[in-house]
Chains A and B, each alone.
Chain A
Amino acid sequence: MSAADTKTERVGAAKPEGWNRPPIIPSDDIEGEVLEVAMGPHHPSTHGVFRMDLALDGERVIKLKPVFGYLHRNHEQLAQNQTYLASMPYTDRLDYICSLTNNWAYALAVEKLAGQEVPERAEYLRVILAELTRVQNHASTIGFLLQEMGASGTPLMYAFREREKILDLFEGLTGSRMMCNYMRFGGCRVDASEAWLAATRKVVAGLPAFADEFERFLMTNEILMARCQGVGVLKPDLAINAGVSGPMLRGSGVNYDIRKVDHYGVYDRFKFRVPLGDHGDIYDRYMVRTLEMRESISILEQALKDLPGGPIMDPKAKIRNFRPKAGEAYGRIEAPKGELGFYLISDGGPNPYRYRVRPPSLINLTVLEDMCLGANVADVVLIFGSVDIVLGEVDR
């Protein structure tokens, strides 16, 4: 025993068996077992009611099967057993972050089915509320994405600070922060007062500063760029073929915005651009949402400036004993999460014969496995977060 060894060796300590074995260096030749993991429903990133069955080779994902249904309540059957109007409050509960756009999509489908007109003021109010919804949805989505990236709390609280102001506006107009139940077939439920419009103008005037701040903190953040760029790439042809819509589709560079394509409501009167991504990765989806908030703010400013007077309900609209003629209609809007559609069949009775919700959240998840294959488990959380889903709408 040399002198050097005696120095480091503590007196009386026995050397464990194999203490001087050479270290094991992992190499690609080593064959390990495939590990199957159920990620969720209690994983914090899965909103508590969603599960992904993963097969892992080490840290790499080799299979991913989403499992739905934890929140299924057969919304469609409920709606078929009650009158058309009685389903309006139920639509709030689909995507509970954006209840007003759900209202609009349903109202639009019924108006198509019954051939109803909507007064101009109501159309403007719908645009204002839908764009406010879009701003708060995108802000909170980015906040949640950053939360899942490990930026605990801070960006989300910045987003929620702004969301709170918008929810206060919703409460002032409709009486409820999240379950608004505001639109009716042929118009809106209550008119906006001057005081409410003044408050809205004030909130909207503050939004660009929030967008600046949010961008300054996040856009060139090193961690955000490192974690998001080149991860979860979605190719445009697959995105179209898989029916992906909304910011996910535009993040892949496909120029398809239903506000521009269908010109529903009065969207053809406003000037706005459609932001597009280039690579289809998480960062592009994040950027598309950031830029869409800017465009929404611009639409809000124009709509608040041009808001006409007049009635908010079509005088010919029938509230009681509403029975559309037999036939069917599919109406869709550009909801913050993508294409939200309602398909209705009437047999001339007071209830819809068939009522179907086309949920953007569910259909955007079709490509989740394609985006996650080969990625690390830690990236799955981010890719899933960048899809932007609400389980109330996925499971219905």
Chain B
Amino acid sequence: MEETKAAIERAVPGAVVTVIPNASPSGQHSLLIGEEHAVAIGTFLRDDAELALDFLSNVTGVDYLDKEIAEKVKVTRRVPKAVDGAEPNQVQMVEETVEETRKHTQPGYLEAVYHLYSVSKKHGPVVIRQRTANRSDQVELPSLTSVWRSAEFQEREVFDLFGIVFKGHPDLRRILMWDEFKDYPMRRDYVEPDDFEYEPTAHDQVLKRAQEHEGRV
């Protein structure tokens, strides 16, 4: 992996490549590539005589939710305190260390994962990934369909189910869901819609859930 990373950095100046280790026994580590040079990196991986990763096998998306991280921090601050031995009303500033819980939100992101093999050299897989900045408004990534045609339907599927918008894709439409569908069903916070066609007169559980959805309970 480190060798591939070095080769990419030699061939594509300015490319941002990070090795993402994989703790599983499969040992399939991956390379996180920056979106600015993604197409150049893809072209290099495909055309390089040594790597010759001409076969893009699998493209998929992964969703990571926003994470609320609570960490305990030791804070030292000066507090006024009555000191023994001094005058009864005299207050002195004393340094005190307390433990405080601080919460902050780590923004989630969407990931596009590509598994590459080489048909001519018969090696692989080399796994590359791209990450979006967040899950809501900055979900654009460069499409690699211009490098490998096999990404055409698979990137459409990732767009359909995860909502990653691939810039430069020739035909980015929904592929499995119908065109009028609004949400992205493979996201981890996806909630099923309540207006099921098979439930024309919603009752009991379905009705309760619909009301909860609208905040009417």
Check if B149 sits within 8 Å of A68, measured CB to CB.
no
A254: chain B residues at CB < 8 Å are 119
B125-181 residues with Cβ-Cβ distance < 8 A to A are 125, 127, 148-154, 161, 174-178
Query: Number of contact residues on A: which range applies?
Result: 35 or more
B177: chain A residues at CB < 8 Å are 69, 72
Asked if B5 is at the interface of the complex by the 8 Å CB criterion, the answer is: no
B24 and chain A: residue at smallest CB distance: A327
Q: Which of B113, B149, B174, B186 contacts A241 (CB 8 A)?
A: B149
Contacting chain A: which of B10-18, B55-63, B83-91, B196-204? Answer: B55-63
Check if B176 sits within 8 Å of A68, measured CB to CB.
yes
Query: Number of contact residues on B: which range applies?
Result: 35 or more
Check if A241 sits within 8 Å of B127, measured CB to CB.
no
A348 and chain B: residue at smallest CB distance: B23
Complex CA gap A328/B113 in Å reads 11
Q: How far is the CB of A29 from chain B (nearest CB, A)?
A: 33
Complex CA gap A69/B55 in Å reads 25
Check if B24 sits within 8 Å of A330, measured CB to CB.
no
Q: Which of A77, A243, A329, A339 contacts B149 (CB 8 A)?
A: A243
Complex CA gap A143/B176 in Å reads 29
Complex CA gap A245/B62 in Å reads 24
B104: chain A residues at CB < 8 Å are none
Check if A343 sits within 8 Å of B150, measured CB to CB.
no
Check if B22 sits within 8 Å of A328, measured CB to CB.
yes
Check if B178 sits within 8 Å of A330, measured CB to CB.
no
Asked if A113 is at the interface of the complex by the 8 Å CB criterion, the answer is: yes
A-B contact pairs, 7 of them (CB 8 A): A69-B174, A69-B176, A69-B178, A324-B24, A329-B24, A362-B154, A396-B176
Q: With A243-B56, A354-B62, A356-B60 given, can you name 19 additional A-B contacts, CB distance below 8 Å?
A: A112-B24, A115-B25, A238-B149, A240-B55, A240-B119, A242-B152, A243-B150, A244-B150, A256-B55, A326-B23, A327-B23, A327-B25, A330-B58, A353-B62, A358-B58, A358-B60, A363-B150, A366-B149, A396-B176
